[in-house]
């Protein structure tokens, strides 16, 4: 994908106390997401089998064995990825991934 908005959101997550374990996994996801040119949700599922396609071009990724969740919105036409949420599984349970 061409652009990811924003790495700063991921960095703020792994800099929180007790979340340093997510840094390498989030950096790896970021590198991979920038490299691959996803044209549709099937492209994502072929690389990330555990990713959940939830509608409105939103995808939920499991990070660190599902300890953390990453919600993004993908514009397949322009190649932009918008990070909507990154947090613990418990924090994810408290949001509406379709509207965040």
Q: How far is CA 41 from the centre of its chain?
A: 13
Instruction: Give the pLDDT confidence score for residue 90 in this predicted structure.
Output: 94
Q: Which of 86, 84, 68, 4 is nearest to 38 (CA)?
A: 4
The answer to whether the CB of 73 falls within 8 A of the CB of 56 is yes
Q: Please give the domain boundaries of the chain with CATH numbers for all domains.
A: 3-92 (3.30.2310.20)
The answer to whether the CB of 26 falls within 8 A of the CB of 34 is no
Task: Count CA within 13 A, CB hemisphere, residue 98.
Answer: 3
Mean pLDDT by 10 residues, the chain (100 residues): 83 97 96 92 95 95 96 95 96 94
Task: Count CA within 13 A, CB hemisphere, residue 23.
Answer: 10
Instruction: Give the pLDDT confidence score for residue 1 in this predicted structure.
Output: 54
Instruction: Give the pLDDT confidence score for residue 7 in this predicted structure.
Output: 87
């Amino acid at each position: 994908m061409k652009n990811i908005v924003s790495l700063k959101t991921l960095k703020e997550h792994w800099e929180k106390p007790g979340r340093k374990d997510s840094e390498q996994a989030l950096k790896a996801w970021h590198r991979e997401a920038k490299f691959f040119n996803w044209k549709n949700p099937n492209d994502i599922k072929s690389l990330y089998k555990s990713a959940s396609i939830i509608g409105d071009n939103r995808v939920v990724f499991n990070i660190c064995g599902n300890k953390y969740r990453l919600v993004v919105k993908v514009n397949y036409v322009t190649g932009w990825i918008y990070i909507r949420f990154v947090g613990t599984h418990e924090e994810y349970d408290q949001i509406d991934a379709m509207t965040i």
